[in-house]
Chains A and B, each alone.
Chain A
Amino acid sequence: MPEFEPMQNMLTELRRGSLTLAVLGSLREPRYGYALLQTLTEQGIDIEANTLYPLLRRLESQELLTSDWDTSENRPRKYYVVSQKGKEALVQLMKEWEHMQRSISAICGKGE
């Protein structure tokens, strides 16, 4: 845990954009909110519930995700899955991600 506060802000800033990528990628198969939170945490993505749930709602309103309420169990759960538009967005974002990773590595140098 960095005790330097601007450092914490920089890390949060850096992660913010990639969260969309992680969420869209994980939702190639349907998941409900809390299950997605656990999946992401297991994969080492540091995201809080109060960030993820509003993000899901935003992505849904942008039609990158579709959702379905499952009422077969005793408690209703909302399942999200990536839409066709979301898949296309994911491909583009991945390209950009790789491009940026190459550029940053080239600029900052590896193992320095």
Chain B
Amino acid sequence: MENTIERYVYDVARRLPEKEREEVKKELRANIYDMLPENASEAEIEKVLYELGSPASLAGKYRQNPRYLISPAYYDEYVSVLKWVLPLVGVIVMVIGFITGTVMALKIDTSKYYLVATKIISQGISMGVSAAFQALIWTTVGFVIAERSGQRAEQSGKHSWRIQDLPEVQKSGQTHIPLSEGVAELVVMTVFSVIGILFCTGRLPFAMAFSEEGLHFTTVFNPDFLVLWIPAILVTFVLGVIVGITKIKDRRWSVPVCVSVVAKSLVSMAMSLYLLNQPNMFSSEFLTFLSNVGVLQALPQVNGKNVLLVVLMVLIVIGTISECVKTVTMTIKNRDK
């Protein structure tokens, strides 16, 4: 019968800080025996222990400061960060996985299509899932560190929050920029710039074509043309980072946000138009391939340019103008209120 009590007392104490364990055990043991008659039966012991409740809940009541991995103070923020970080990282890395899977599969064997497909899909999914787990772990670690250091700040008498941290009251018009938008922009910008530069420096053999022998690599673009893209990507990257940072800093359509967005749109439009007007865009192999297939002859020319290029340029101009107009309207609306 003593064994039951000892097991209960032990189960409570093991959940407490080490320096308190012995004292709590002694106290609890004495209290339990006081609640029991002399030579109590096993049934009487059980009744008393059930009255005291589960060891976990009793230990919780003994603990001075309830301990959380992530306390309610941070929990909402933690969940809202995970909600966009996990899908974003997962999807981006999955796409990278598809690409590397393709490259790897094509290097091994291109004759068995089902093997290629399996390789691509498994590589994409496994990389995406493991990246999402990584993101989960590191976000959690970050919040746990915030939690622990936050507690210490509180104990040393400092305020655990600051007036400056209070969010701006959201106005009814959607002039507020969510934090996720700025962060997502930074992440997407970085990923695409890295991929773009790898591609333009020939480290990603993107281009491939079908022929009678199956899949084989050809370069779609002229290497001289791709080199021109590198400074353009770098400039867009820097401007994109500036946009991301001003959005994160201001979190509303302020004048700096507006200026940076408009500048970025106009500069990248100018660069795209310049690049699309280069004469030596495609590699000679690819042009030969296109004319062999008959695509080049089928498409009409406008002012000596392929119609597809013209359409693309018009789309870029329309996209940029609408982006600028939207940004400026948002900013004006924001200032009116």
Q: Which residues of A contact B (CB under 8 A)?
A: 32-35, 48-51, 53-54, 57-58, 61, 69, 75-78
Contact = CB atoms under 8 A, between A and B. Distances in A.
A54 B30 contact: no
Given A53-B31, A77-B30, 7 more contacts: A33-B34, A49-B31, A50-B52, A50-B58, A54-B61, A61-B64, A76-B30
Given A50-B53, A54-B62, A57-B62, A75 B33 contact: yes
Given A50-B52, A61-B64, A32 B34 contact: yes
B44 interface: no
B14 to A, nearest CB: 16
A54 B12 CA distance: 12
B24 A77 contact: no
Identify whether the interface residues of B are mostly helix, strand, loop, or mixed: helix
Given A34-B34, A58-B64, A77-B34, A50 B27 contact: no
Nearest to B36: A34
Given A34-B35, A57-B24, A51 B61 contact: yes
B131 to A, nearest CB: 44
Contacts of B61: 50-51, 54
Given A57-B27, A75-B30, A78-B30, A49 B64 contact: no
Contact of B27 (A35, A48, A51, A78): A78
A50 B64 contact: no
B53 to A, nearest CB: 5
Contacts of A50: 51-53, 57-58, 61
B255 interface: no
Interface centre among B33, B35, B57, B61, by most chain A C-beta atoms within 10 angstroms, is B61
B28 interface: yes
Contacts of A53: 27-28, 31, 62
Interface string B24-43: 10111011011100000000
B31 A34 contact: yes
Contacts of B31: 33-34, 49, 53
Nearest to A52: B31
Give the 5 A-B residue pairs with the shortest CB-CB distance, closest first: A34-B34, A54-B61, A33-B31, A54-B62, A50-B52
A48 B61 CA distance: 12
11 contacts: A34-B34, A50-B51, A50-B53, A50-B57, A54-B58, A54-B61, A54-B62, A57-B24, A76-B30, A77-B30, A78-B30
A80 B87 CA distance: 56
A75 to B, nearest CB: 6
A89 B68 CA distance: 30
Given A50-B61, A51-B61, A76 B34 contact: no
